[in-house]
Structures are given as C-alpha cells and as structure tokens.
Amino acid sequence: MSNQVILYAMGVVVLLFIAVVIAYIALRKRMNQEDIKQARELRAGAQTNTLSLEVIYQKLYMFYIKTPVLKRYIVKLRRRIEIINIEDEYLTRKQSSKILTNALLIIVPLTLGIILFTKNNILLLAILLIFEIFMVETVINGMVDKMDNKLLRQQIDLFSEIRHAYHDTNMVEEAIYEVSQNDEVEVSRQAEKIYEILISDDPETELEKYYDIVPNAYLKEFAGISYLTREFGDRKDAHGASLYLKNLNNITQEMQIEILKRDKIDYVFQSLSLIAAVPMLFIEPVKQWAISQFSFTSQFYDGKGGFIVQMLLLLITFVSYIMIRKIKDNSSTNAHIKNTENPWQAKLYKNRIAKSVVDLFIPKRGTKENRKIIRLLKDAASKQKIEWLYVNRIVLTIVTCIISIFMFNQLHKIAVNYIYEEPDSDYDIIGQMSSSNEKKAMERTKRHNYFIDRFKGQTNVTKEQIAVAMQYSSYYQDSTDEEIETDAEKVYTKLQIVNSEYLKWFEILLAIIFSLVAYMCPIWMLMFQVKMRQLDMEDEVMQFQTIILMLMKIERINVEIILEWLERYANIFKEPITKCVNNYESGAWEALEDLKNDVSYGQFIRIVESLQAAVEKIPIKEAFDELDTERAYYQEKRKESNERLISRKGMIGKVIGFAPMVCLFVGYLIVPLVAIGLTSMTTSFNTMQKMIK
C-alpha cells in the first residue's frame, strides 16, 4: 500500500472535522428549535450561556441520538446512567453525551494510529478496525463504572448524615427527607426516591418496584431496613443503642469493604486491558523492523507462516481481551440493562426461517441436555435466553467456517504473490540488498514470472522443457547453458509451488473443525464465567450473614421473610433460594432441606441449617447468635477473603493479559528469527562445502 492511502485517510479525517464544525455552527443557529428548548428547560432555573459545556453536551446528545452508529452507544449509555440519575433527564443526557464524547476523543486518535502502523496490510487494518469496536464498549463501560463507584462513596456520606438527622428527629422518613435536599450529589436523588416510597399509600409495592432499578445492593438494603423500621418501629439493643443506626453502620462497613475491593481490583486491572490490546499495533512495525535488519526473514513474514502467526496473534489478543473483561467486571448497574435490551439475537430468532433452523439445534424441553444448558446459564448469571445462546453458536459457527475458508484462500494467494513479487537473489544474513542488486534481482524475477505464467497449470512439465523454452527465448539469448540450467531449476521449483496452491480437502476439513470449536466457544465462555463466579461464593455468603444480622433483631421477622431478603440480594445462589421460597408454604423444613441438597458450599449450608433450627426449635435471634458475637471475626475474614479473591483474579488476569505481548515478541519475532537464521546458516554452509569440493 502506498502513502496515498494515508493521505486519503487524513483527508477523510479532515473532512469529518470540517463536517463536525459545520454541524456545530448549524446547531448554534437552531438553538431556538423545539428539541433544544426541551433540553434547556429540563432543569428549571438553570442559567447557562450558549458556550457552556452543559449546553454543548446537550447539543451533542441530540446529534448522537440521530446518528445511526452512535445512537446504539448513546441509548445503551442512557440505560445505565438513568438508573443512577432517577428522573433527571437533563443530567442523564449530559452525562451520556460527556462519556461518549470522551470515548470518541480516545478512539479517533487510536484509529489514526492503527491506520498509520498497518497501512501496508489491508487485511490486518480491517481486522484491527473491527476489533476497535469492542474497545469502544470497554472504554464506555469503564467510565460508567467510575460513576457507579462515585455513587457508592457518596452513600457513605449519606448514611453518616442520616445518622445525625435521625438523632434529631427520631423518625426514619424525616431524617431521609432532610438529607435528600442536597441537590449537589447523585445519591440525593436515591434518598429522595426512598423517601417518596416510605410516605406513599402502598410502600411495599413501590419498594418492590424500586428494587428492580436500584443501582446497587447497599441502597436496596438501606431502603428495606428503613421500610421495616418505619413499619415495625425501632428497638434498642442490649447496650441501649438504636437498632436502625446499628444496621446503618453494618451497611456502611459492607460498603467500605466493597469500595476497598473495587479499588484494589481496578488497580490490579487498570493496565491489563491496554497491555492485552497494544500488541496488535506492533504486529506490522515488528515485521518491518525484522525485515529491514535481517532481510532473510522476509520469506517468513511475507509468506504463509507470517500470515498464520498474525491471525493467531489477533485471535489470542481478542480472547485475552474478552476474558480480562469477564474477570474484572464488578459493575452493579449492568444487571439492569441486559433485560431491557432487544438484542440482534432476539430479532433474528423472530424470523420464521431462522427460528426453524435454530430450533433444530436447541435440545428438547425436559431432556437432560436442555436442563444442563439452562443450569449453565443460571450458574453463569447470564441474562441471555437459551434461544439467544444457540443463535450465537450457530452464527459463530457459520462465520468461522466462512472466515476459515477465506483465510485458507488468502494463504494460497499470499504464497503465489510471494513467488511473483519476491526479488530472486541470495540474501545477506544481515542487512538489505543494495538498490542495484535489488533491481537486478527484480529483473530476474520478472523473467521467471514469464515462464511461470507460460507453464502454469501444466503439472507434468519438466525442467528440461523449461530449459528448452528458455534457450529459444529473447530473455536468455546471451546466457550460458549453466545459467539457463540454474534458472530453469528455480522456475521449476516456483512452478511446483504455484500449481500446488489451491483449496484442498483437508483445509475444508480444518474449516469444519474450527467451526465446531466456534460452536462450543459460547459454552466454554459460560463455563469460564461459572469458574469466576465460584470465586465470589464466599463473598456472597458473607453478605447473607450481614443481612441476617440486620434482620434477626427486628420484631415479627420470621424465616420466610429472611429467605425473601436473601433471594432479593442473591446472585450465585439465587435459583435454589427462589425454589425454596416458592416451596416454603408446602413445608418449611422440607423446602429448606431441598435448598441444602441443591447447594454444595459449606458456609451456605450452615446458614440453611440455622434457618431450619429457627423454623421449629429456637428463635431466630438464638439461631444466629454467633453472627452477633463474632461480628469482628467475620469482618476480618471477609477482608481476608477479598484479599485472596483479588490475588487470584490478579494472577489469572496477568497471565491472560500478558499472553499477547509474550506471543508477539517470542512467537512472532524471536522464534522465527532464530529458526530462519539457523536454516539460512545451514544452507550457506552446505553451499560453501559444495564450492570447496
């Protein structure tokens, strides 16, 4: 690829920049139109000038929402941010626009860098630009996660202020209302929403609705405890302290532990995604450097071997990037958006023909395989339906098969092009040929190409026939018999390669094997998610202990209410707890016994056994008495458990994150350099020995 491609790319970027400037000027002139008026009036009393960032973000939001490609990202952003900014459309639009704008400011220079580094490889350029689409979502998710963490930190201050207000008013709703009047922080909107729920005509129903959109579990706990305290009244513990304030303190301690956990995970993973993705940019520079310093390596980098290693590097990078995202993910707002989306899988499955094809692969209901897949989806906490899973598997299989056949054809094309375009000359081990030697080598290659084209497709041609054709050719009028024989042998060798480069049966078989592997990849990814979730089991059980500790001293609390609360906050153990709640009316002890049989984690089984004791034998407070007396121990154990969890995730993440970098320098640079160098040296020594003899 010539430098004209870069000039064209730069021209396109300049034109896009001019278009953005023109669009901005046009938007300024249309400030009085209805869309902009609506955006400006969403916050009553807001006073901003026309050049303020807030107005610019509102204008950009209107531009993004009308742009086909960007609309998908801005809508997805809205769904996460509006959970945090309850009923604040102005702020939701502003933050969505700000995040997408910041993401574009990162992605656009990265795109230019990819074009610059891979300008000589159109296929690699296309693949990298496609991969960049995945990076956009990562950048956006990272920015939204920061907002989620910011909200969590604000909740600590909120609960502290509520404690002081509660001391003055001794009324839950009044304390929450007083603190919620601070409009400067995002958490105030959540407090105001909880206050509206508590004073509503049907607080229990409104509370259930709020549980579906609450940004994190700690606000859910706070809302539930506030409702129970307002409904049943506050109590004093053995030391005369308020039970409500003690529960607030418990929730605060849980949040502090969670914030420390997230900060440490963010610190461990802060550069791993970048480290996993960066090697893609250096594939072409490494290749050019190796060829410029060791010209004999061009036979690898410009041939089949180099292309295969490039594709493997991209595949390893892609897989590593996805797995790091799965390991690191700790967002609490993601769970709410996946249920509200209408993914392309659902749209495709609605097609009558596609549905009939997909249904052929989905195991029949009631079969062992169907139950196994459904259980895997639940264990992985996946929000996708079994139909969507099989749409993914089938589409991935078809795409992999097509891409594999295309890649095999591309390999044959690369091998043939190498024969036609590579200068025919003996290489120095280090350095490049001089311009005069390169010119002579290309002239020899052109002569060879003439005879290759003449005999191409004739599989029975011999060296003697090629030599005879050379003798009567104008290219070899002044050549000696030895020169003709040498060139005839080279042409014959090249001709054998050209005639053998076509799609073979075993390559079709390999494409089918790759497709079968691709068909299993979604299942393997779910299994990987299950393994990652198993690391969080201990953390979830300790959250259950905190919830029970808050509930067990409240009057009128029974085992069924505790199970309902555990179900509300459960993630890993949600399915067996839900089953237990549904069967509780038909027999409490039997339902808890089934729950104990459905799980295998020891600490959770001990909780279930305590619940069984509280059903028939002893009060709830006595059944979980050790939770109160050993509170400090459980907190230290929770911290130590988080340390081990972060350590294990960090170790796995580092291995996966550095894999592409290691493969780039070892598999794409050092190993080819050493292997081809040794081969070239062996060939040179053999040639010298023949000359001596």
Q: What percentage of the chain exceeds 70 in pLDDT?
A: 83
Residue 516 has what pLDDT? 93
Two tokens at 670?
């050092």
Token pair, residue 458, equals: 């004739």
- Greater pLDDT, 393 or 621: 393
Q: Nearest 5°: CA angle at 381, between 375 and 386?
A: 55
Structure tokens at 403: 């891409």
pLDDT of residue 395: 92
pLDDT in tens, 217-228: 888 888 888 888
- 5-16 pLDDT, tens digit each: 555 555 555 566
The helix-helix angle for 481-500 and 386-421 (nearest 10°) equals 170
Query: How many whole angstroms separate alpha carbon 45 and alpha carbon 54?
Result: 14
The amino acid at residue 627 is L
Taking the C-alpha atoms of residue 14 and residue 8, their distance in angstroms, rounded to an integer, is 10
Distance CA 131, CA 134 (A): 6
Identity of the amino acid at 152? L
Give me Rg for the CA atoms of the chain. Answer: 34
Q: Is the pLDDT reported for residue 48 higher than 70? A: no
Alpha carbon distance 263, 517 (integer Å):
37
Q: How far apart are CA 96 and CA 79, in angstroms?
A: 10
Alpha-carbon distance 122 to 171, whole Å? Answer: 68
Q: 13-17, 55-59, 461-465, 641-645 — which is least confidently predicted?
A: 13-17
Residue 229 is inside which H or E element, if any?
Answer: helix 217-232
With 80 as the cut, is the pLDDT of residue 429 above it?
Answer: no
Largest CA distance in the chain: 113
Higher pLDDT, 109 or 239: 109
| Exposed/middle/buried for residue 692 (C-beta within 10 Å: 0-12, 13-18, 19+) | exposed
Q: Which two tokens stand for residue 92?
A: 């939701």
In b/e form, how buried is each residue of 282-292, taking b as 16+ CB within 10 angstroms?
A: bbbebbeebbe
**614 confidence band (pLDDT: 50, 70, 90):** confident
For residue 323, the number of C-alpha atoms closer than 13 Å in the C-beta half-sphere is 25
Note the pLDDT of residue 339.
Answer: 45
Three-class SS of 460-497: CCCHHHHHHHHHCCHHHCCCCHHHHHHHHHHHHHHHHH
Burial (CB count <10 Å: 0-12, 13-18, 19+), residue 564 = middle
Using pLDDT thresholds of 50, 70 and 90, give the confidence band for residue 398. very high
Nearest to 10 by CA among 108, 121, 120: 108
Q: What does the pLDDT look like over 330-352, one tens digit per residue? A: 544 344 444 445 678 888 888 88
Q: Collapse the DSSP code of 340 into the 3-class scheme (helix H, G, I; strand E, B; otherwise coil) and give the result.
A: coil
Return the pLDDT at 45: 44
Find the DSSP H helices in 170-216: 172-180, 187-198, 203-211
Residue 204 DSSP symbol: H
Phi, psi of 549 (to 5 degrees): -60, -35
Sequence-distant (≥ 6) Cβ neighbours of residue 338 within 8 angstroms: 383, 384
Average pLDDT over residues 180-185: 74
Whether pLDDT at 514 is above 50: yes
* Residue 30: per-residue pLDDT: 55
- The token pair at 407 is 């890649």
CA distance to 130, 370, 372, 377, 519, per residue, from 523 (Å): 24, 13, 11, 9, 8
How confident is the model at residue 332, as a pLDDT? Answer: 43
| Residue 345, number of CB atoms within 10 A of its CB | 19
**pLDDT tens across 126-139, in order?**
767 777 776 777 77
* Range ranked top by mean pLDDT from 231-240, 624-633, 641-650, 681-690: 641-650
Q: What share of the chain is helix, strand, coil (3-state, %, to 5)?
A: 80, 0, 20
Residue-wise pLDDT tens digits, 272-301: 877 887 787 788 788 888 888 777 777 788
At residue 117, the 3 state secondary structure works out as helix
Phi, psi of 453 (to 5 degrees): -65, -35
pLDDT above 80 for 64: yes
How many Å apart are CA 387 and CA 66, to the nearest integer?
31
Tokens 């839950």 correspond to what residue?
172
pLDDT of residue 428: 47
Torsion angle in degrees (nearest 10) through CA of 431, 432, 437, 439: 180
Q: What is the overall mean pLDDT for the chain?
A: 79
| Structure confidence at residue 397 as a pLDDT band (50, 70, 90) | very high
Q: Write out pLDDT tens, residues 240-280.
A: 778 888 888 888 888 888 888 888 888 888 778 778 877 87
Burial of 602 (0-12, 13-18, 19+ CB in 10 A): exposed
The pLDDT of residue 72: 81
What percent of the chain clears pLDDT 90, i.e. is strictly above it? 3
The larger pLDDT score, comparing residue 623 to residue 239, is at 623
Bridge partners (DSSP) listed for residue 242: 236
Out of 236-240, 472-476, 584-588, 642-646, least confident range: 236-240
The tokens for 216 are: 């994190």
Pairwise pLDDT comparison (183 vs 372), residue with the higher score:
372
Helix (H, G, I), strand (E, B) or coil at 294: strand
Asked if 623 contacts 238 with a C-beta cutoff of 8 angstroms, the reply is: no
- Helix/strand/coil (H, E, C) string of 364-433? CCCCHHHHHHHHHHHHCCCCCCHHHHHHHHHHHHHHHHHHHHHHHHHHHHHHHHHHHHCCCCCCCCCECC
Alpha helices in 631-670 (DSSP H): 631-662
- Name the token pair of 523: 């299942």
From residue 441, give the alpha-carbon distance in Å to each of 260, 449, 665: 65, 12, 31
